[in-house]
A and B are shown apart, each in its own frame.
Chain A
Amino acid sequence: MSARNEELVARRNRRLRLLGIVLGAAVLLVLIAIAVSGGSGSSSRNVRGASLVNARFRGIPQTGITLGNPNAPVTLVEFADLKCPVCRDYTTSVFPQLVDRYVRTGKVRMVLQLQHFVGNQNGDSERAARMGLAVAQQNRLWQFADLFYLNQRDETRTYVTDPFLRRIAARVHGLNVNRAFAARNQPTVTQALHDASDQFKAAGFRATPSFAVGKSGGTLTPLDYTSLSLSQFAGPIDKLLAPGS
């Protein structure tokens, strides 16, 4: 082998070793960057339950404030306040079971009518509801509400600030957060807020969460419950779904 060839081989080997070192260092740097980002991001790292919530609604159609098959035979309307702790309890206990049993199977469509009177000091509850309705314009209200409940705080405190809402909204997959923020005070959002409140009062409800259920397109009647257990909700729904009902 000539001196020239030996030199070339030696250089190639040296460069390959160098490439190995460079590659290893680059991989290490990227892994550190991913770890620093928490596998997600920075400002909203302390939002709980994002993966769970986004997975829960994956594949279920959503239009505005409605979740599920638009042609479902039964409709369940929930009147809830995002600052209401009992609404949170319902959402974390019964709601996921109802979604799996009835919504995912196309039997029930759910409608969420957001109220704004629980812990509404300094307009806190209204800010939450407005954001929810603005998010509904992008058909992601249910993820937002679920995530809000999982990160809900003491209802007597004022905590629904723009940074708080942005943290929650930023974890909703596919949501344009800026667009939702910009839509919060639109007349359509204000109108939807008033409509929800009017329907709540017209049904004679006084507390949240309250529910109305019935055949889709027909008259809905209040669903009375005494505890947050699946049977309290499944019973009336199954009756409506029964053949010949």
Chain B
Amino acid sequence: MKRLDIGIGLLALIGLGIAAYLAYIHYAGVKPLCLASGGCETVQTSHWSKLAGVPVAVLGLVGYAAILALLLVPGETGLAATAFVALAGFGFSLYLTWAELFRIHAICQWCVASAVLMTLLAALSVFRLLTTEERGAYA
């Protein structure tokens, strides 16, 4: 496995941990650990925390797990699919960050951390798509 793959894998693992924690918070109904006063809980209990009835944390969980799984898919299909999931995750993170700032008026550090991870994952996976050679070596 190449260093770029390992880097993406590590970032996705961290993201998976954050998403799993937020999903647990959602279903257990407990308060999230939060540095700011109540910002995380405000975001977590807002109507923005769900998409068509599915908690956004669960969507994040699926996204990070998909990135990890797609790293194992060989060839351009795997490269493109990883970039697709990471870019979609990045776009949705942008939307949620906008909602936190301008609609919910509260910031959840866990969500910000996830957004940063998705941004890094999108950049790295695009770089990986453009530079990885067919047989797996980097240009």
Contact = CB atoms under 8 A, between A and B. Distances in A.
B48 interface: yes
Contacts of B80: 18-19, 21-22
A8 interface: yes
A23 B87 contact: yes
Interface stretch (B1-9, B12-20, B49-57): B49-57
Contact of B130 (A12, A40, A43, A173): A12
A33 B130 contact: no
Interface in B81-134: 83-84, 87-88, 90-92, 95, 103-106, 126, 129-130, 133-134
Contacts of A37: 48, 51-52
A8 to B, nearest CB: 7
Interface in B58-96: 76, 79-80, 83-84, 87-88, 90-92, 95
Interface residues of A, number: 34
A176 B42 CA distance: 4
Nearest to A25: B84
B88 A175 contact: no
Given A22-B83, A170-B47, A42 B53 contact: yes
Contacts of B28: none
Interface in A154-177: 170-171, 173-177
A44 interface: yes
B50 A43 contact: yes
Nearest to B88: A26
Given A15-B129, A26-B84, A40 B91 contact: no
A40 B83 contact: no
Given A170-B45, A175-B42, A33 B51 contact: yes
Q: DSSP majority for the B interface?
A: helix
B139 interface: yes
A19 B92 contact: no
A12 B131 CA distance: 8
A12 B127 CA distance: 12
A52 interface: no
Nearest to B43: A176
B29 to A, nearest CB: 8
A177 B84 contact: no
A194 interface: no
Contacts of A18: 76, 79-80, 129
A174 B52 contact: no
A230 interface: no
Given A170-B46, A176-B38, A30 B95 contact: yes
Contacts of A19: 80, 83, 126, 129-130
Nearest to A174: B105
A210 B65 CA distance: 58
A45 B47 CA distance: 9
Given A26-B84, A44-B47, A173-B103, A178 B41 contact: yes
A42 B51 contact: yes
A36 B104 contact: no
Contacts of B105: 173-174
A37 B41 CA distance: 20
24 contacts: A11-B134, A12-B130, A15-B76, A19-B126, A23-B87, A25-B84, A26-B84, A26-B91, A27-B87, A29-B88, A30-B88, A33-B51, A33-B92, A34-B95, A37-B48, A40-B47, A40-B48, A42-B51, A44-B47, A170-B45, A173-B103, A174-B104, A179-B38, A179-B41
